[in-house]
Structure 1
Amino acid sequence: MKSNKEKYSFLPDLLTKKRFEIWRHIFLILSIAIIEMNSTLITYGKNYSILENKIYWIILFSLILDMTIIYFNLYIIVPKLLLKSKYLQYTVTLLILITFSIVTNLGFEYFIFKPKNTIFDSSLTFYSEINLIIELVRSFLISGIYIVGISMSVLFKSWLMNIQRINQLETEDLRSQLERMKEKVSPSFLSRILKKSASLAISAPEESSAMLLNLSKILRYQLYDCGRDKVLLSSEIVFLTNYLSLEKNYLGNFDFIINKNGDMTHLFIPPLLFLPFIQQSIISNHELNNKLILQLSFLVENNLLQFSCISNNVENINYSQVNHRLELLYHNKYSIKIQNEKELTIQIAV
């Protein structure tokens, strides 16, 4: 059974993917052929006994001429002018093409009708001045509508491909950021925690064992949970608790408090979403070499997740380098505030 995502992506795939290209061309040719056949039969069908099989030559010639104009527009004019935003040049070129198409078509009709020396009332486009003007306007409008329509479909396809390309770049950027965050947790973090644990193995074996247990939980979370697009908020908080416990054991002059309010049972967020902000606070304090107390709060209320990180003595923390991931993930569905240069608050629509 196909997922909703696969179903919804069928139309964009149909318009943009290479494997559907032959079907797009078949649909285009059949559509133009049906239009030309209907138009010609409506105009000259009542004179079929006079024209005989030449009516099919009119249909064939009109189809070949129109497809030549359409594909010339599709592969030459649109890429070189329209997609490069040269709208005036494109409009002028398109008008010239349509005029050429109409004049050529009328010339072929004259070639077909002249040997018969027949007057077809209003069907003969060059029979009178009024009929000629009406035919020119009609042909110009019809040709313009389907050529411009095809050009718009190319623009739409180009827009879809750009959107897909942007989404792909954003996804790759998010993955690379996630990988960089994993690298911050290890191997440097792993190395210093193992060294600290080894130094405590004899003097404080219980503390050393607790550190190794927390480290194993962190690595397991990284290995299994961080490979998913979303994780439970409760699991993320457990991970942060284990991570901060190890930092507390390693640094010595560091402590933390985590407060939770609201129903977090079924709330999912991207993995390691808040870790960079916490790390930035710890790094800033490490440069000052002061005792740091971090107070973290998670509040879920009215479809909003509010995360706050309050530092007791670290000021002017630069978060600009770590909030880019929030922008990619949530666009305009989040807000970030810094109060008193010590308190960071993030609100996310969930």
Structure 2
Amino acid sequence: MFWLGYFLFNVLRWGSYFNDYWYSVKSNLVEFPIHIIFVYINIYYLIPKFILRKKYWTYILSLAAMLALVYLVRTGLNYLLVTKDIWPEADNPAQFMEFNHIIAVVLGELYVIGFVTAIKLVIDWSIERRKNEDLAKLQLSTELKYLRTQIQPHFFFNTLNNLYALTLKKSDNAPRLVIKLSDMMQYILYDVNSSKANLLEEIIHINNYIDLERLRFENRVEAELDITGDIEDVDVPPLLFLSFVENCFKHGMKGTDKLEIKINFTVLPNHYLEFTISNSFNPENSLETNNGIGNENAKRRLNLLFSNNYVLETQIEGNTYNLFLKIPIK
């Protein structure tokens, strides 16, 4: 279709120029097969064999040899099949192998080669970019799924430790913890089955987790959760905020009699969500852990999902640890 359109354009162009459409048809019928052969040799042989292997001088010499051959074949066929005037476009009659005629034919052929090769390279580049984008999306999806599978065993490991602690004390809260744990397993294993989750469901999930910790630590936990804005239709990465809540208990309960947690979700008008969480802790205890994967997992997910379009900041003020997260939402 491309060559047919190009052929018709040239026939009309030169037919109008000479006011002789029959001559234009004949001359283009002679020249276009040469164009096509030469262009495809350049695209599928010369460029892969020499340009892509950085053999530039060999490519230039091969191209020059092809241009010389094209000049001889094209001029000869035009002379035999179309017109004895080998260069009707010129003001004065031209002779075979005349310098100006050679330049005109070579430049015309280079124009066709450059024009068509550029189109082919743009198409190839577009296809390759689409393939790379699809591959990047697949890699992103695979890594995100892997990171999510890391979160779930991590969470269940901590919760089962809580249950074990209650059973050791023969606490009456152990059965309630089992029910809460069952609800959370239902959410994680069955309800969260895509790359997005409803923010309201995530908040309910966080509340369930805090209730589980309250059952373990009884009166030692004081938690407050505030919501600002309409969260009904807000989607977020699943289980993203849970790792930050887990860290509050992981670090805040060390060496203290009481843990105070404040959590706030704010939906901004500019399609961003702000999440802040603060917890009390004993400054004498280090915030570093040996085997924790929650925060690193969260940072990795944020980089994969939002690139640089997010803000994650932490700050310590006295005996309070503060975390601020801002992510885009739709």
Shorter-normalised TM range: 0.7 to 0.9
Which position in structure 1 is the counterpart of 2:291? none
Shift of 1:108: 0.7
* Partner of residue 211 from structure 2, selected from 223, 235, 245: 245
Residue 98 and residue 42 in structure 1: after superposition, are their counterparts in 2 closer, same or farther (change >3 A)? farther
Shift of 1:62: 3.4
Pairing of 1:1-350 with structure 2 (within 5 A)? 30-32=1-3, 34-35=5-6, 39=10, 56=29, 58-73=31-46, 75-77=48-50, 80-81=52-53, 95-96=60-61, 98-113=63-78, 118-122=84-88, 127=95, 128-186=98-156, 188-196=157-165, 198=167, 204=172, 207-252=173-218, 253-285=220-252, 288-291=254-257, 292-303=259-270, 304-313=272-281, 317=287, 319-320=295-296, 322-340=298-316, 342-350=321-329
Q: Which amino acid aligns with 2:107?
A: V
Quick check: 2:255–2:282 contact (8 Å CA) kept in 1? no
Rounded Cα–Cα distance in structure 2 between residues aligned with 1:119 and 1:96: 30
Residue 97 and residue 236 in structure 1: after superposition, are their counterparts in 2 closer, same or farther (change >3 A)? farther
Gaps of 5+ in 2: 289-294
Task: Compare 210-219 and 232-241 and name the one that shifted more.
Answer: 210-219
Rounded Cα–Cα distance in structure 2 between residues aligned with 1:167 and 1:300: 28
Residue 59 and residue 40 in structure 1: after superposition, are their counterparts in 2 closer, same or farther (change >3 A)? farther
Residue 156 and residue 53 in structure 1: after superposition, are their counterparts in 2 closer, same or farther (change >3 A)? closer
Q: Which amino acid aligns with 2:308?
A: N
Rounded Cα–Cα distance in structure 2 between residues aligned with 1:52 and 1:337: 71
In structure 2, the residue corresponding to 1:309 is in which secondary structure?
A: strand
Q: Which amino acid aligns with 1:242?
A: N
Rounded Cα–Cα distance in structure 2 between residues aligned with 1:66 and 1:296: 66
Which position in structure 2 is the counterpart of 1:22? none
1:229-280 Cα distance to aligned partner (Å, 9 max, x none): 2221111011011112112322454443222222212211111011122223
Percent identity for Structure 1 against Structure 2:
17
User: Which has the larger helix fraction?
Assistant: 1
Rounded Cα–Cα distance in structure 2 between residues aligned with 1:36 and 1:76: 29
Residue 269 and residue 73 in structure 1: after superposition, are their counterparts in 2 closer, same or farther (change >3 A)? farther
Residue 293 and residue 97 in structure 1: after superposition, are their counterparts in 2 closer, same or farther (change >3 A)? farther
Q: Which amino acid aligns with 1:157?
A: I
Quick check: 1:338–1:344 contact (8 Å CA) kept in 2? yes
Shift of 1:348: 1.8
In structure 2, the residue corresponding to 1:156 is in which secondary structure?
A: helix
Rounded Cα–Cα distance in structure 2 between residues aligned with 1:33 and 1:119: 26
Instruction: Tell me the matched-pair count.
Output: 307
Quick check: 1:261–1:298 contact (8 Å CA) kept in 2? yes
Residue 255 and residue 76 in structure 1: after superposition, are their counterparts in 2 closer, same or farther (change >3 A)? farther
Q: Which amino acid aligns with 1:312?
A: S
Shift of 1:198: 4.7
Rounded Cα–Cα distance in structure 1 between residues aligned with 2:197 and 2:85: 79
Q: Which amino acid aligns with 2:328?
A: A
Larger C-alpha radius of gyration, 1 or 2?
A: 2
Rounded Cα–Cα distance in structure 2 between residues aligned with 1:225 and 1:141: 61
Quick check: 1:293–1:311 contact (8 Å CA) kept in 2? yes
Q: Normalization by structure 2: what TM-score?
A: 0.77
Rounded Cα–Cα distance in structure 1 between residues aligned with 2:58 and 2:141: 40
Rounded Cα–Cα distance in structure 2 between residues aligned with 1:264 and 1:138: 64
Q: CA RMSD in A?
A: 3.6
Task: Compare 150-159 and 168-177 and name the one that shifted more.
Answer: 150-159
Rounded Cα–Cα distance in structure 1 between residues aligned with 2:249 and 2:162: 16
Shift of 1:77: 5.0
Q: Which amino acid aligns with 1:309?
A: I
1:29-78 Cα distance to aligned partner (Å, 9 max, x none): x42465357648966995968x9989756543432232222222565456
Rounded Cα–Cα distance in structure 1 between residues aligned with 2:115 and 2:69: 18
In structure 2, the residue corresponding to 1:108 is in which secondary structure?
A: helix
Rounded Cα–Cα distance in structure 1 between residues aligned with 2:306 and 2:282: 28
Residue 71 and residue 32 in structure 1: after superposition, are their counterparts in 2 closer, same or farther (change >3 A)? farther
Gaps of 5+ in 1: 1-29
